[in-house]
Structure 1
Amino acid sequence: MQSLCHRLLSLLFVFSSLQIHQLTEACSCALSHPQDAYCNSDIVIRAKVVGKKLMKDGPFGTMRYTVKQMKMYKGFNKMQHVQHIYTDASESLCGVKFDINKYQYLITGRVFDGKVYTGLCNFNQPWERLSLAQKKGINHRYQLGCNCRIKPCHYLPCFVTSKNECLWTDMLSHFGYPGYQSRHYACIQQKEGYCSWYRGMAGRDKTTINSTDP
C-alpha cells in the first residue's frame, strides 16, 4: 500500500511538472517592429512603475501596476492620464513584470472598459534602453507611417508587393532580434504616396532610403 502511494505521488508530481512546463511555454508572440507596436496600440506612455497589487480575478489573478505617468504619446482620445496598468499575473499567459521604482518604462497597451491592459506581446521597454531613433519614432515618426505596412522577411527571396510596404529583414541577420531596422529605422509614407525606410541623422535629419534598404 505504501509503495502504491509513492507511485501515485510520483505520477502526480510528473503530471504537475508537465502542466507547469506547458504553461510556461503557452505565451507565444509574433515578432513586431516597434512602429507596428505603436500603431496597433491604444495607449503609448512613458511612466515609472511605483506599486503593484494582485487582483483576485481569473485562475491566476491580474496584476495591477500603479504608474506615475511622465508623458503620453498616444491615447489622448481614450484617456487623459493613466494611473494603473493591468496585466495577467502569470507569465505563461503573457503577463509582463515591471520593476518597481527602478526604471522609466515605455509602455504600450490596449484599453478595455476604461482600463489599460498590456502583456509580453506588447512593446514594453525601459526608456533608457531604447535607441535615439526609437525615441524619435515614439515621439512623432511612427505616427507618420501608420498607413504603411512593415512586411517581415523570414526567408529569401523577399519582395514588396505594393507601394505602401517596407521590407523588414532583421530576422535574416545572424545578430537576431531586435535588429538594425528595429532600432534605427521607421517606415514612413512619402509625399508621392509610397512608403520607404527612413533614418534621421544627427547632422542632417532628412535621409530617405530605398524601400528594400537597409
Structure 2
Amino acid sequence: MSAAVTLALLFFWSVALNEQVTEGCRCLPKHPQQQFCASDIVIRAKVIGTVPSTLPQLTAYRIQTIQTFKQLDKKIFQVIYTSQTSCGINLENGEYLLSGPVKDGRVVVNLCDRVEPWNQLSRVQKMYLSRYQSGCVCEISPCTGASCLIEIPQKKCLIRVNNSFSLDDEEALQSICLPGSDGFCRWRKFLK
C-alpha cells in the first residue's frame, strides 16, 4: 500500500472517530471530558416532570438547576427538550447530570448527549466536572493498536478504542486530559 493511501486512510479514520456520528441513534462513544467541552451547558438538575411542549415533535421536561458546571450564557433554564423520535430520551423524576447544546435559546438533549442519573456517577466523575473546563484546550483523539503507543509531546491525549469503536481505556476514563506548564497535554489523575 502506498504512503499516500495509508495517509488518506489514517486521515479518514481520524475524522470519522473524532466526529460524533449519529446513524439513527448510534453515536460514537466519547470521553466524558469531550462531551463536557462540546456541550453548551452542563448542569446538575432535578427533573420535576413533563410539561406541555410549545415545540412540535419535542417532549418538554420542567427542571430545577441544582449546580452549574458550564453554561455559555447566564439564562436560567427551567425546561429542557428532547426529541420524540428514537433519538430522544425518557427522563424520570429525579436528579441528573444534563449536558448538551443550546439551540435557539433552548436546551435540547438526545441520546448522543451526556444525560445520566446523578446517583450513578462515581465520586471521581463528579469531582472532574469542576475540572474539565481547564482541559478543553486539549484534544482527545481515539487510537488503535500501535498508534496508541506514540508518546510524542502534543496538544492532545490519546484514548484507545477497540474494533467495535467503543472506548477501551479504563485508565483514560478515570483521568482528565490537561495541559502542562510546557503547553503539552497529558492524562492526569486527581485523588480527593
When normalised by structure 1's length, the TM-score is: 0.70
* Runs of 4+ residues deviating >4 angstroms: 176-179
**Structure number with larger C-alpha Rg:** 1
Root mean square deviation of aligned Cα: 2.4
Paired AA for residue 180 in structure 1: E
**Residues 7-60 of structure 1, C-alpha deviation per residue, up to 9 Å, x if partnerless?**
xxxxxxxxxxxxxxxxxx7212111110010001111100111111363755xx
Shift of 1:127: 1.3
Residue pair 1:144, 1:188 contacting (<8 A) in 2 also: yes
What is the aligned residue count?
A: 167
Alignment of 1:157 with 2:153, yes or no, is no
- SS of structure 2 residue aligned to 1:50: strand
When normalised by structure 2's length, the TM-score is: 0.78
Alignment of 1:113 with 2:104, yes or no, is yes
Equivalent residue for 2:60? 64
Equivalent residue for 1:16? none
Paired AA for residue 67 in structure 2: K
- SS of structure 2 residue aligned to 1:46: strand
Shift of 1:183: 3.9
Higher strand share: 2
Q: Which has the higher contact order (CA 8 A, sep 6+)?
A: 2
Q: Aligned residues: percent identity?
A: 33
Relative to structure 1, the CA distance from residue 183 to residue 161 in structure 2 (aligned partners, 3 Å threshold; closer, same or farther) is closer
Paired AA for residue 130 in structure 1: L
Residue pair 1:173, 1:179 contacting (<8 A) in 2 also: no
Residue pair 1:105, 1:125 contacting (<8 A) in 2 also: yes
Matches within 5 A, 1:183-194: 183-194=173-184
Unaligned runs of 5+ in 2: 1-22
Equivalent residue for 1:80? 75
Alignment of 1:131 with 2:122, yes or no, is yes
Unaligned runs of 5+ in 1: 1-24, 203-214
Relative to structure 1, the CA distance from residue 56 to residue 111 in structure 2 (aligned partners, 3 Å threshold; closer, same or farther) is closer
Q: Distance in 1 between the 2:174 and 2:125 partners?
A: 7
Q: Distance in 2 between the 1:182 and 1:28 partners?
A: 22
- SS of structure 1 residue aligned to 2:92: coil
Shift of 1:99: 1.1
Residue pair 1:134, 1:183 contacting (<8 A) in 2 also: no
Equivalent residue for 1:195? 185
